[in-house]
Amino acid sequence: MRHILLLEDDADTRLWFSELLHKAISDIIIVEAEGIQQALTLLAEYPLSMAIVDIYLPDGRGFEFIKKAKKFNPGIFCVVVTAFDDDTDIFLALQAGADGYLLKSQDKDKLVRSLKDIMGGAPPLSPSIARRIIKHFQVKDKSPQEPRVALTDREKDVLIFISKGMTRLEAAKMIGIREGTVAGYIKRVYEKLNVSSRAEAALEAKRMGLI
């Protein structure tokens, strides 16, 4: 029997998605959690092979759970299931280690089919998410480039950390400065690179050969 964690704070959505999971995958036991801390407890208690994770939870973001789950059990298959298709959410989820990204708005039969495909090794991605990812990584010149405006070494450090999905507080601890100072660096980096989101900043960091 496969143990699957369903991390979702809405009871109706948990019931709905549990039914989809049972339709898609045979011989499963579903354990449910409403928040990250409860999910981490279940992670230690059950031999979980998969986790279905919502992004916005009462005690944090699903990305936080995915990072910790992958560290605790590298073999766990984590799929984000959310109503949000913002570029930042998509890339932060993938950077955290998500193995798939599905939208709740997707047709129910297609969701079931995507879940079935997991057993065959196919990455579960809603079509619109796959298109966004392809679009972002269709870079004409793939060689590392210098930024259009020069960044200081500290600004490059901040860019690298936020591109890897770190929070401002996490970046501050890594560098050894205050969180408010990191916020100031992020603002300057965004202005210099002419970007307005972490996803765009991550793409610039990749273009520059920093990540």
pLDDT digits (tens, 9 = 90+) for 106-126: 888 988 988 888 766 666 666
Domains and CATH numbers, the chain: 2-136 (3.40.50.2300), 153-207 (1.10.10.10)
- Read off the tokens for 2: 């496969």
Residue by residue, DSSP assigns 138-158 as: --S--S----SSPPPHHHHHH
| pLDDT tens per residue across span 38-65 | 999 999 999 999 999 998 899 988 989 9
Calculate what percentage of the chain has a pLDDT beyond 90: 32
pLDDT of 142 above 60: no
pLDDT at site 37: 95
- Cα gap 135→187, rounded to integer Å: 25
Strand ranges in the chain using DSSP code E only, listed in sequence order: 2-7, 28-33, 48-53, 56-57, 60-61, 77-82, 100-103
pLDDT at site 128: 66
Structure pTM?
0.62
